[in-house]
Chain A
Amino acid sequence: EAQVTQNPRYLITVTGKKLTVTCSQNMNHEYMSWYRQDPGLGLRQIYYSMNVEVTDKGDVPEGYKVSRKEKRNFPLILESPSPNQTSLYFCATGTSGRAPPPYEQYFGPGTRLTVT
């Protein structure tokens, strides 16, 4: 079964304590991405990766890091979380936008992060 898994699903942490949200996919997709979703602002892209060892900034990358050492994994790292990073985070995987349509992206179940 095609799956995108995220861990943890819920996390409450304190300001400044480094954390990692993991994302894994079993569809052999080259493209992976992280979004955050906030009320009134919708979904915004944080970082994306076109392939292993290739990552780039999305619309709201400040305060985040990513790595892509393996095709299936794309962890999101918050080195020093702050309260304004409290949000719902989604990992997504799919075909590159340069590939023929559809641009069908598969989203994970989400990680709700609260930074106090």
Chain B
Amino acid sequence: DAKTTQPNSMESNEEEPVHLPCNHSTISGTDYIHWYRQLPSQGPEYVIHGLTSNVNNRMASLAIAEDRKSSTLILHRATLRDAAVYYCILRDPRSGGGADGLTFGKGTHLIIQP
């Protein structure tokens, strides 16, 4: 799977939007972009995924650049409960054989100030 680059940490204020960037300049045409987050003392949880078009769900929005070399996870109104480490992960459905697992990088530690 291709590599992703995320800032180590970001800080935001409660009830403000948060834009978490992810660079994936070596993304292949079949890589899906996934975002997971890990709340303190919990296992990671799925947030959202996309291929080319922007996506919305109840947790967040995913904005994907036209060239797909970057994406942004958008939390529209951050709360203290959104403080977590956010991981941007690429996954190619064609990559058989391998671990079928998710390759987690270091992610972005999001700090929410009250």
Contact in complex: A42, B93 (CB < 8 Å): no
Contact in complex: A35, B105 (CB < 8 Å): no
Contact in complex: A42, B95 (CB < 8 Å): no
Contact in complex: B99, A107 (CB < 8 Å): no
Contact in complex: A110, B42 (CB < 8 Å): yes
Contact in complex: B44, A43 (CB < 8 Å): yes
Inter-chain CA distance A4–B101, complex, in Å, is 16
Given contacts A42-B106, A103-B49, A107-B45, contact A56 B99 (CB under 8 A): yes
Q: How many of A's residues come within 8 Å of B, CB to CB?
A: 29
Name the prevailing secondary structure of the B interface residues. Answer: loop
Q: Taking CB as reference atom, which chain B residue is nearest A107?
A: B43
**Residues from chain A with Cβ under 8 Å of B68 in the complex:** none
Inter-chain CA distance A106–B43, complex, in Å, is 8
**Residues from chain B with Cβ under 8 Å of A4 in the complex:** 43
Inter-chain CA distance A92–B36, complex, in Å, is 13
Report the minimum CB–CB distance from A28 to chain B (whole Å).
17
Q: Which of B41, B46, B91 contacts A97 (CB 8 A)?
A: B91
**Residues from chain A with Cβ under 8 Å of B93 in the complex:** 97-101
B46, B51, B100: residue with the most chain A Cβ atoms closer than 10 Å? B100
Contact in complex: A35, B101 (CB < 8 Å): yes
Contact in complex: A97, B104 (CB < 8 Å): no
**Residues from chain A with Cβ under 8 Å of B104 in the complex:** 42-43
Inter-chain CA distance A74–B63, complex, in Å, is 36
Report the minimum CB–CB distance from A1 to chain B (whole Å).
14
**Residues from chain A with Cβ under 8 Å of B44 in the complex:** 43, 90, 92, 105, 107
Inter-chain CA distance A109–B41, complex, in Å, is 8
Tell me the B residues contacting A by CB distance below 8 Å. Answer: 32, 34, 41-46, 49, 51, 91, 93, 95-96, 98-102, 104-107
Tell me the A residues contacting B by CB distance below 8 Å. Answer: 4, 31, 33, 35, 42-43, 45, 48, 50, 56, 58-59, 90, 92, 96-110
| Other contacts beyond A97-B98, A103-B32: 16, CB < 8 A | A31-B100, A42-B104, A45-B99, A90-B43, A97-B100, A101-B34, A101-B91, A101-B93, A103-B49, A103-B102, A105-B44, A107-B42, A107-B43, A107-B44, A108-B43, A110-B43
